[in-house]
Chain A
């Protein structure tokens, strides 16, 4: 199999996307797809503009972003802390190993009842749901990242007088595991978007709630506008994170 040159690859990818949208448009116009269930692609930019002009777009994106930011921040911080702690402190690891195994398979959305009971139908509940999924991703990746650090580095640290736990944590475990930990953070940023919409479906203002309203009115075009909004925000956050990640890992070959 021959490899494609970069411009050629980009061109073909763009053609693939354009072809998909064209096929979608044509199928609707030809009556091959039911127009009341699927929006016309060509109407989407106009609807998008209307949402922005009404101020609705900014309003819902702002609320969703605030749930997202709080949920991702708390989930990441706790996930990394507990994961790194479990990897470095055998007693702590053993202490919570079964509890983790028990809780891990529970999907974040299964926590919605408790979220409502504990926090009510408000942004805190949404942030809580989001943080759960993000927590597990960061917990497992940072745990295995720290576990797979070459023990030879620890020996070097000890041989050069850095025996204290905090010194080894800051000078060996965290920097050596950084590639894995950052990978988990990045996956968590994606996971956060997956739960943000679901967490808002039960009435907390945000993108998810707006999508539910729209679907109730069969306004499929508005639903698609917000689907694309999520895709765009995810791409933006991911790109920004990649810049930070590349900078932090510039020591890698």
Chain B
């Protein structure tokens, strides 16, 4: 495992906000991914990359507990605060409830927490302001653009003040310009949120741009399930990474790790 990080992380296991050990995933008899170990520290940004079909999104759902892993253990230590949730998720499609106004969508995760109606409202407006959509609070979702809807999806996830924020290819359905804008916004947002982020993407540049560490999945072939190729520490400054000379190098290194399967995808 490469360790060249410019932001030293505390490798204190007791402080981890997510611990996964020996996680294997599969559908009806076939294992598609096996042996994933991951420990995520507070405020850390971990990207998960791999060729399409390797099981990235399934892994994310298993880490979140939405599906049960075939083997292995996942633990997200519960917080003791009654007005937050341990984790939340931003989905690939924004998946806002079209029958709720923007603010009510953001309030979804707050329902059932010990918050008054007024507090809920306040807690919803806060992340909406963070993504620049506080003026849209009373709009219906279908009146928003795709990029705005995904911003609401991010606000909805931030509203519960999660310690782990799962993001499942959140920008892949957006056009290139919007995608880049949201990537920059996410870099910005991290400074104002305490959440650790586990971010699935098939876009290696995106992973290197955003993450502290990149978990590379790959190696699956016919009967052998895919697994962890490596975990790369992204040793680049947080600002203006794209322009940094080490950026392309890091991207190439990960491309090399994903290797044959990615090469096979090329025409």
Residues of chain A having any CB pair with chain B under 8 Å: 152-153, 155-162, 167, 171-172, 175-176, 178, 250-253
Interface check B66, CB cutoff 8 A? yes
Give bound CA distance, A176 to B99, whole Å.
7
| Chain B, range 82-120, C-beta contacts under 8 Å to A | 85, 88-89, 91, 93, 95, 97-101, 108-109, 111-113
A175–B98 CA distance with the chains assembled, in angstroms:
9
Question: With A152-B93, A153-B95 in contact, do A159 and B88 touch (Cβ < 8 Å)?
Answer: yes
Q: A159-B89, A251-B140, A253-B142 are in contact. Are A178 and B108 (CB under 8 A)?
A: no
Q: Within the complex, what minimum Cβ distance (angstroms) separates A249 from chain B? A: 8
Looking across the interface, which residue of chain A has its beta carbon closest to that of B85? A161
Which residue in chain B gives the minimum CB-CB distance to A179? B99
Q: What sequence of 0s and 1s flags, for each residue 39-60 of chain B, a beta carbon within 8 Å of any chain A beta carbon? A: 0000000000000000000000
A161 partner residues in chain B, CB cutoff 8 A: 85, 109, 111-113, 160
**Shortest beta-carbon distance from A31 to chain B in Å:** 61
Contacts of B85 in A (CB 8 A): 160-161
Q: Looking at A156, A171, A253, which has the most chain B CB atoms within 10 Å of its CB?
A: A156
A-B contact count (CB 8 A): 57
Whether the pair A167, B66 counts as a contact (CB closer than 8 A) is no
Chain B interface, number of residues (Cβ within 8 angstroms): 23
A172 to B64, CA, bound (A): 21
Chain B residues with Cβ under 8 A from A153's Cβ?
95, 97
A155 to B175, CA, bound (A): 25
State whether the Cβ of B123 lies closer than 8 Å to any Cβ in chain A: no
Nearest residue, chain A, Cβ from B61: A155
> For residue B156, which residues in chain A have a CB less than 8 angstroms away from its CB?
160
- Is B66 a contact of A158 with CB atoms below 8 Å? yes
Most buried by A among B93, B101, B109, B142: B109
Chain A contacts for B91, CB-based, 8 A: 152, 155-156, 159
Pair B97/A175 contact, Cβ less than 8 Å:
yes
The answer to whether B112 and A159 have CB atoms under 8 Å apart is no
Bound state CA distance, A252 and B93, in angstroms? 18
Given A161-B85, A251-B100, decide whether A156 and B66 contact each other with a Cβ distance below 8 A. no
Q: Find the A residue at minimum CB distance from B67.
A: A155
Q: B111: nearest residue on chain A (CB-CB)?
A: A162
A251 with B98: CB separation less than 8 A: yes
Enumerate 5 A-B pairs (CB-CB under 8 Å) in ascending A order: A152-B95, A156-B91, A159-B66, A160-B85, A160-B108
Closest to B156 in A: A160
Q: Which partner residue on chain A sits nearest B153 by CB separation? A: A156
Contacts of B101 on A, CB cut-off 8 Å? 251
* A residues near B109, Cβ cutoff 8 Å: 160-161
User: Distance (Å) between the CB of B151 and the closest chain A CB?
Assistant: 16
In the complex, how many angstroms separate the beta carbon of B100 from the nearest chain A beta carbon? 7
Q: Tell me which residues across on chain A come within 8 A of B112, comparing CB atoms.
A: 161-162, 167
Contact A156 B108 (CB under 8 A): yes
A159-B66, A161-B111, A171-B97 given; name 16 further pairs at CB < 8 Å: A153-B95, A153-B97, A156-B91, A156-B97, A159-B64, A160-B85, A160-B109, A160-B156, A161-B109, A167-B111, A171-B108, A172-B97, A175-B99, A175-B100, A251-B100, A251-B142
- Looking at A161, A171, A178, the one whose CB has the most chain B CB atoms below 10 A away is A161
Q: Which of B104-161 contact A (CB under 8 A)?
A: 108-109, 111-113, 140-142, 156, 160
Contact across chains for B88 and A160 when beta carbons are under 8 A apart: yes
| Contact A156 B95, beta carbon cutoff 8 Å | yes
Q: Which 6 A-B pairs have the closest CB atoms?
A: A160-B109, A175-B99, A253-B142, A159-B89, A251-B99, A160-B108
Distance in angstroms from B158 CB to nearest chain A CB is 12
